[in-house]
A and B are shown apart, each in its own frame.
Chain A
Amino acid sequence: MELNIRLPESVRAKVKLRENEDMHYCSPYDISTSGCKQELCYLAVTNLRLLRIDCGGIADEIEIKDIETVKCEPQVGQGILVVKRRDSDCEELFARFTMKHVTRIAYMARGLINLRDGVNKKIISTELEKTCPICGTPLRGRSKCPKCDGGQGVIIKFIKLCGAYKLQLFLICLCMIMISSMQLVRPKIQQLFIDNCLREGKGGMNAIFLFAAAMIITTFLSIVFDSTNYWLCNRMGTSLSKDVRTMVYDKLQKLSMSYITDRRPGALMNRMTRDTMEISGFMQEAFSGMFSCIVTMVAAVIVMFGISVELTLLSVVFMPVALGLSVMFRRNIHRRFHMQWVKSDKTNSGLQDVLSGMRIVKSFGTEEQEARNFERLTGEFCVIQRRNEIFWASFYPLLTFIMSMGVYAITYLGGSEVLGGTLTLGRLNQLIGYAWILYGPLEWMTFLPRRITQLITSLERIYDILDEEPAIKDGEEPVSKQITGEVELRNVRFGYHSHTPVLEGISLKVKPGEMIGLVGASGTGKSTLINLLMRLYDVDDGEIVIDGTDLNDLKVAEYHSQLGIVLQENFLFAGTIYNNLRFSKPDATYEEIIHAAKLANAHDFIMKTPDGYNTYIGEHGYSLSGGERQRLSIARAVLNNPKILILDEATSNLDTESEYLIQKALERLREGCTTFAIAHRLSTLKDADRLVVIDGHNIAEIGTHNELMEKKGIYYGLVSAQLEMQKIE
């Protein structure tokens, strides 16, 4: 998202900036104080001032150094910018804007605070615009506007990709030319047959046999070429989409977590499956017919001109009419069927709603009411469906009739020419044959632009992933080193969207082998802190230093291999226990694996499963209990001999016995490991060397259990509340 929108020249001319004043952030705002929509109004942040600019120039300004707080508050259907000056005791409504600008202005507010505090880091946004800021076209998850940026880019890339299939493309072209020639040659054979063989009994039985054979051979050949063409296109399409799918998958693995979490999982799935399918679909349905159709049509027109210029012109004249009609009808049909689809969707979701809430419906005794509701929905669907079917049945033949007007015109005028002796019967027949060739694919061709647009959209979405640079990657000279587990956070600031900070000013020094317990209410940023330690995200500001080296300078993959991670919900892949355990260290020996399992108190239950370490777990496989899964993931974490161990709610949701076993396992594991543990049940953290209480985006309290209990602050409150709850239990 662009955070410094360029002012239009007309506005720019009226804005007088001071000497050494630079524009840092700029965004349009579009609601006046009275609530009217307005254009050409901007909010701008320079290194000195916050400006409100309208068509008359600067309408309002505040010196940045005078600003105490500035917030972009999302309301319902709009956002407002609220400023509090240092010398004032009340907040001030500075600007109103529609939701289109909320995110940008929120970033801007953040940037303003940075400028005021002298933080020399420019806020940038990785979020995507929903619509093009210039022309308003929906971007559908693409980073560039296809209209403003030109859509040819991806097509060229796609053609380059097809370059790997030169031989197949050559064969396809050959097939297409052959198909066209077969189609064109048939009316010619018929013409010769009628004019040279049938008329006036010129030819004998031999000639008839020859013509019949020629017809059979051309038909047979066109079938052969048709299916070869289809087969080749199909093959090329599926291979292409396989290639693209692999490329997208490889890229997704490399991209950072922030890219993945910024997008809905469904959207990424769609790119992997639906968008890549679109490529093979296009190759099979559109590409295979596209060129042969065009070649055939052009050739047919040329041959027709050779026979009769007037009649050809006559038939060509109707083409735009037929094409126009077809486009018009298509829109109407699309509209009708979309409506049917909407109604069916409504009926379905209504049904699903009631079926999944059946217990509620029954317990409140509203079956009758729901039945009436459903009757109404399904009734509406029925009316639309009936109307559409009638339309389909009556209008479609009519459309075909209108579309073949050219053929009727040729038949009529050509017929009279035959009677007049200026045209032979065979030639008329040939012309009619070509006219059908011209008009036949018209209907199909009206769908082509749609197919091409769909393909381009899919390609754009695919290349949007492929062209993305991973946000987290190795620095220019990554440092490769074995860490001891010394961790230092220096004034770390981070937010998933950099306009809303989750953590601010976090500073903490951890000695190797120390255990740190992270405590705080949910949503305060404990897991976020751990995500930063794992370098799934990069900090916005400040630094994380591991053994004296900035985390950003360490080799990412190598650093990750020295971490051990146990989460609350541990993901085990479908496969055997053995494969799951050695996930972090594929070359682990049997001895290492058994040792790790023993450390994690997992060996005994693994041995009790039917196939020991080779037991298949996952869907339809051996089902493990929560505690067992947890112990497996601990074994997986320990196998790597990690130097930093991260436990995020590792023992919650477990029964007391499993928790005890896991606690014991973790105790063994912690030896020689720097440990960061998050737990809601505070008793789990009793062994921690230090407890860090996170509240209000930063570290509120820090110290040992006893120190914090004496302090009677937040931690004390949490412990007391838990004791109280246990009494109630």
Chain B
Amino acid sequence: MENKNVNKNGENEEFDLAQMEEETAQMLRLRYLNRDNAVFERTKGGFVSLKIGDEFYPRVGVYASFPFADPEKYISIREATEKAKEIGIIMDLNADVDAETKKMLKEQMAVRYFTPVIKKINSIKDEYGFAYWDVETSNGRCKFTIRMNSSSVVYLTDTRLLITDLDENRFEIPDFTKLTAKELKKLDLFL
């Protein structure tokens, strides 16, 4: 973008404030994407590409603004680069895009977020500062180890727990009050 700025002294400067300000303003703008202005398509490689008018992105990242509270609202579509610059936001996956697009974007979110939901607690054994969990999750049976400190099990809400293991894998218990009394007793130590 050639953006010439003539300052008070009448000197020409190619690098200039205006361009920086332009960029800052762009950062502030919320650009909403919906079925009218954006075309998402599956790529051969298992990702999703995006076409908005003349702009084409061969691969985009699909990020949730509120991954726990509301994972289908305010979905940020970002460039698949290190900087992950925002391209636009889909306000509501259920209202703003068609069912097929929603499905492919949900698939991409599964590639970004991996937080198995704990369905059943088989056992929790604590020993010398570590707790060994054996659980059934939405993604299959899993055994993992966590450190016995407060940051390993955090409350997302009053009843929702996020558990982080030694390798920084994450597990979720959406509502621990729904567990059986026996399971709750095993979980006691962390509540």
A interface residue numbers (CB < 8 A to B): 31, 33, 35-38, 75-78, 80, 82, 88-93, 96, 98-100, 130-131, 136-138, 335, 338-339, 342, 345-346, 349, 450, 453-454, 457, 712, 716-717, 720-721, 724
Contact = CB atoms under 8 A, between A and B. Distances in A.
Given A90-B45, A98-B114, A335-B126, 14 more contacts: A33-B46, A75-B112, A76-B113, A77-B113, A78-B111, A90-B47, A96-B111, A99-B168, A130-B167, A131-B145, A138-B147, A335-B189, A338-B189, A720-B15
Interface in B146-191: 147-148, 150, 166-170, 188-190
Contacts of A721: 15
B139 interface: yes
Given A37-B137, A37-B142, A92-B46, A99 B189 contact: no
Interface string B105-136: 00000111111100000000010101000000
Nearest to B108: A93
Nearest to B172: A77
Q: Which of A76, A712, A720 has the most CB of B within 10 A?
A: A76
Contacts of B141: 37
A93 B111 contact: yes
A450 B126 CA distance: 13
A720 B114 contact: no
Chain A at the B interface: SS class = mixed
Contact of B112 (A76, A90, A335, A453): A76
B13 A720 contact: yes
A231 B111 CA distance: 62
A91 B47 contact: yes
Contacts of B17: 724
A36 B189 contact: no
Contacts of B67: 76
B44 A92 contact: yes
A720 B17 CA distance: 10
A724 B17 CA distance: 8
B140 interface: yes
Contacts of B142: 37
Contacts, number: 111
B70 interface: no
B152 to A, nearest CB: 11
Contacts of A342: 150, 189-190
Contact of A91 (B59, B130, B166): B59
Contact of A37 (B49, B59, B80, B140): B140
A89 B111 CA distance: 20
B111 A339 contact: no
Sorting the interface of chain B by its residue count into under 10, 10 to 19, 20 to 34 or 35 or more gives 35 or more
A36 B139 contact: yes
Nearest to B110: A35
Q: Which of A38, A92, A453 has the most CB of B within 10 A?
A: A92
Contacts of A454: 128
B143 interface: yes
Enumerate the 9 nearest inter-chain pairs by beta-carbon distance, A residue then B residue, closest first. Answer: A92-B45, A78-B114, A93-B46, A37-B140, A720-B15, A77-B114, A100-B167, A77-B170, A99-B168
A518 B117 CA distance: 50
Given A88-B45, A99-B168, A346 B150 contact: yes
Given A75-B112, A724-B17, A100 B150 contact: no
Contacts of B98: none
Contacts of A33: 46
A660 B139 CA distance: 64
B104 to A, nearest CB: 13
Nearest to A718: B15
A457 B128 contact: yes
A89 B58 contact: yes
B94 interface: no
B16 A91 contact: no
Interface string B21-55: 00000000000000000000001111101000000
B158 to A, nearest CB: 11
A393 B85 CA distance: 62
Contacts of A36: 139-140
